[in-house]
Every structure is written in C-alpha cells, then in structure tokens.
Structure 1
Amino acid sequence: MSCNGSALGLNTSEADPSAPAPLRVSLAVAMLLMIVVSFLGNAVVCVIVYQRPAMRSAINLLLASLAFSDIMLSLCCMPFTAVTLLTARWHFGAALCRLSAALYWFFVLEGVAILLIISVDRFLIIVQRQDRLTPRRAKSIIAASWLLSFCVAAPSLAGWAVVEVPARAPQCVLGYSELLTVRAYAVTLVGAAFCVPFTLMLGAYLCILHAVRKNAMRVRNQSDSLDLRHMGRAGLRRLQRQQLVSLDLGFKTKAFTTILLLFVGFSLCWLPHTVYSLLAVFSRRFYCSRDFYVASSCVLWLGYLKSALNPLLYCWRIKRFREACADLLPQGAHVLPGLPERLRRRTRPRALYVCGESQSSV
C-alpha cells in the first residue's frame, strides 16, 4: 500500500520531493561527472583487455566484466536519475520506470558477483595455494554470473516488487508493501546484492589477512635463524628460497591491498543503500516520511559512486593502468615523454593480477 492508500504495484503518487533545489542540482551535477568518469575509466579497462591478447588472463577477464557492468550502469540508469534530480519529475513513463529498476539491480548484482569471484580467487591462491582459474573457466563463470544476476533481477519486471515512481524518489526504487511475497523478494534481492557477498568476502579477507601475517612471521623467523658465518651451499640455497618466498609474499600482499580497497569501497557505498531499501519495504513510517526523497537521493548517489571509484582506484594503485591510459591518448596529448621500448618489460599473463606499483592486473 502506498502513502495515499492506492493499490499495490506501481505507486504513482505525486507528492512533492521535499528536497531543496541546491541539493538536487549539486547531486545531479556530481552524478553527471560520475557518468563521465565511470564510462571513460571502465572503458579503458575493457579496451586494454580486448586489444591486447597478452592481457586476456583469467583475472583480467573478470576485471573487464566488472568494468562492463559499471559502464552499463552508468549509461542505462544514471542519466535517468540525473534528469529526475534536475527537474524533480519522472518524464519516462511507468513501463520504463520498472525496466530501469530491473536493470539497476541487474548490473549491480553482476558487479557484486564479479567482486565476490575475485575475492574467492584471492582466497584460493593465498590461503589454499590453489591457482586453478584459467581463461576458459573464467569465461564460463562470467557467463553464469550474468545469467544468475538476470534471474534474480528479472522478477521485478513481473510485479514481484512494489516500485516507486518519482516524484517521491529520484529513481524507481523499492516501495513499501505488506505482502509477504513482495517482502520476501525484496529480502532476497538485497541479500544477493549485499548481505551474502559481504559476509563471504569479509570471511575470505580475514582468512587472507591471517595467512599473510602467519607467512610473514614464518619467513622472518626462518631468516633470523640462519647463520651466515657457517652457511654452506645448502644454506645458500635455503636463503635464496626464503628470499623468493618473501618476494612472493610482498607480491601477493600488494595485490590483496587493492582488492581489499575495492571491498571497502563496495561496503561503504552499499551498506546505506541496503539499510535504506529494507526500511523502504518494511517501514511505512520511513517510506511516507518527508525525508524519504532526501534519503533516496543521497543513498542512490552513494551507490552510483562505486562505479566511478573503481577506475580512480586503478589509476592510483596500478602503474600499468596509468601507462595504458597514456598510450590511448593522442600523440600530441602526452605531457611526459614515454619510456623507450627496450625499457618496457613483458609480464606473464598469469602474473597480471597484481595491483601494486610495479605490476598490475591491467
């Protein structure tokens, strides 16, 4: 039931947004900037993986799929929200409202699924010491994740969720309902988009942190126990093995740090959205309050921010990403001269999933 007592389904109430114009305009302008950053930054990732066969490792295919889902989110959903924020009206009809809501959850679910797959892969490599993800398996996993995300998001098109048509919100969002089926689907949707992936990724990262700390202490203790004065040929080989282990540990730690930052960004951007969505479906008081539009605007803006943060994080952490961006620019647009070709190092495709300054995933 909507706030004006209409029937379940699409709520077409014409309540005023009750949001100050400066706030709406500021969020809309910032969202337009996010569209540009998200599209261009994530397009660079897709172009790099597409144009360079050496970059088509399993993990880079996952990153390209994550970037593509963010591109589609920025093109198919964010412009409608920006226009609605500027005009305080939904100009695109009820059918497109429900379609945009389904696409929103579809692309969000896909991005979260890819991030979860990457986290599980890091867990298997660092904790279980199993590197079984091949490009062929990655393609199958990506196809399955897109299919599963579509299956979870598609029922909203069939009326399994109450969708609020603006002007009560700047985008078609989940609305209040007393039907158990609608509430159950809303819980399933929110759980698949945040709760379940967050729990699994948090557990994986805690295990990774424990394994990294344990390995670092073991390497340090074994290094301290070596007596260089009485070291023979066997001792030298042992020292070399310890140095390789230490190098590999630093290699994995740098990669894990960037993935952990992606997880932190996902958590900070989507935790408010999860709480907001559940309150909108279960709490009539919150749904009908005057602050609902303001809360919707801020929470949706924060949720979209994640799509623009990923390429910014790549640019900050990954040297090869910055070099690739420079290579894609026109020749006259380069500010600094490029490195000579003989100084550029070729990296093994299986080792591309490193997000440090010296090696990177892209």
Structure 2
Amino acid sequence: MFGKHFLYILFRENGVCHKMGVTSDIHRRVNDLNRLHGPFCLKRSLVLRTDSKNEAYMLETALKCSYSGYNTPLPGEYYTDGGTEWFAIDCYSDMCNSLISFAKDRMGDGYSIELMNPSLLKPLTKNGISKQLKFQKFLEGRKAQIEALCQNTKNVRSFRTAIKLLMPSLIGVAKTDSNELSNSYEIFLSADTSSEVLDEVFSVSRLSADNDEVWAGANLCVSTQSSCKYKKASFSIPHRGDHFESSWESKGKLLTYVSMLEDLAVAFPVPPAYQQHVGRTLWDDLSPDERSLYRRAIWEALFDYGSESHYETDNKILRHRKNSNSRTIKIRRDESPGEHPYTQLNFDFSD
C-alpha cells in the first residue's frame, strides 16, 4: 500500500454505532479509540490509504454528507477529537460500500482498501477495560435514541418515495388556514386511489425525538379521508420545530416535510371544484341543532349525565328542524304554478 494518510471505518463490537475518521498515525489512533470507546473488531474494520491529507478529508466529507441522517455525536463528557464522527450501526455496510465507490471514482483502480490487522491492538489495562465497560453502558442507554434517529431517517426517505408514487393520482395540494402554532396542508387524490397509498403516506409521516432534555413525537399526517369524489391526507406542521430541532434524532428532518408540502401546494394548487372542501370538517357541515345534539351526547358519554327528558328535548329539536325545512310554499290564487316553476318545489332551502 502507498500513502501516509488514512481514512478508517471502525466496527465496534456489541453494535449500536461505529466510528469513522482520518489520521496520519493509524496505529496510535486505533489504540486510543479502542481504549476509550472499544472494543473494536478490526477484522470487520476498513482502512484506506490516500496520497495526501486533503484527499483523505475530501473522502471523509463525502461520507459525512451522504450519511448525515445517521450521525450520532457524543455528548461533552465523551467528546474527544472526532467526537462528531460516530454513526448508527444501521448504515455501516452502506458506508463501507460508499467508501469503495468514492475511492474508485476519486483515485481510479489504483486505490487500496483493506481490512485492518488485529495485531494493531495492544493489550488493555484494567483501567482501559473499565473505560470500555462504562462506554458500553452509555451506548446501551442511548439505544432508544439511535433507533429513533434511524426510523426518522427512513421515514423521510420513504416520504419522498410515497409522494412520488401518489403523483399519478394527485388532484392538488392546498395550504389551509394557519395559526400561530402550525401550518396545515391537504393533499387531494382521485377517488380510485388505492387505500394502501394513503396508509403509506400516514405511516411515514412520523418524527420522534428522545434525549436527556426533550422528548417529542408527532405524526405530521393527522388524518386521512375517503369519499366518492376524492381521497385526502391532512397535515399539521409546527411553525417552530424547537422540540424536534433541539434533538439530533430529528434535526433538520422536519424541514424536509415542510419544503415538500410547500412546493406541492405551489406547483399543484387545488382546482376550484375542490375549494369548497378545503379546510372544512364534519363539524362545519352540521346545523346548530345537530351540533347541540352531538355536544350533549359527548357530555353524557364522558360524565354519564343524561335523562329521558334530554332525549325527548333533542328529538323535538330535530323534528322541529325537519318540519321547518319541509315547508310547502303556498301559491297565490292569482298565480298559476306554470308561471313560477320554483313554486313547485316541496322544500325551502333558504335557511
């Protein structure tokens, strides 16, 4: 092998996450890392020699950008040189394959990537073993966070795919009334759209954050709806994603959902024929009497409050509404029905 600078990917035993970095002294770096953050399995770890430090850092940057969604930086108490270059073990195989591809594109067929020699590792002292055990316990406690990170990254990627799949059925996207907390979007799809498409959009619209300071979890797709005219997915996106953005598990991912929905709303506005449905709910289409009836039913269901008199009153309200909406329009004696066709209708819709 040629070159004095090394780009390495270290596979850590017991999984959870792995380490990537650059050094000019691979022997010293591997032993320092193994003593603090090991044990590492060198039989599954890769090292690439490069002709210059710039070459090594260029390839390292390419890997960092490609797998930023899996980055799991260490907190201050464990931070050492390279403390931000830890990644979830889920992306280990893909990162190794990407390193091979980047190296070939950058350096041609003369590049050299090899498995590390296990003889590089020195025997550990009792203090070194103690530090390894302490770090392992820390990683085990962080496992839920790293799993949330991986799931968020997969959801973002799957959301892009889901949007692409629903494009043939897309009627339009509306940005509905917003409030001080969030923006709302509605995606309208043709009525013959497969229900599986809506289910997929719903399932990949979730973000989670879980660390020592904050926990948050939300399904950004708050509901789906089917009718004889269309299918619809409704989204509620927080204006300020502080509870997400302060956590590395979901950092930056909320913006992906916002930008995609915003672009769709601009590029594919809802046609005028569907504007009457935008921003409306079942509650909006109820009459005041019907709303009163539902409120009473909810109150009784929650607090077991009700009597026969209440039901009789509600029935009278509904009967009165039915009768008032079914008034027959009288025709003056000096007019014939043929002169005013509308008077032949049996219902008055003026209410």
Sort the TM-score into its range (normalised by shorter chain). Answer: under 0.3
Of the two structures, which has the highest relative contact order with CA contacts closer than 8 Å and spacing of 6 or more? 1
Structure 1 length normalisation: TM-score? 0.25
Structure 2 length normalisation: TM-score? 0.25
**Which has more radius of gyration?**
2
Flag the structure with higher strand content.
2
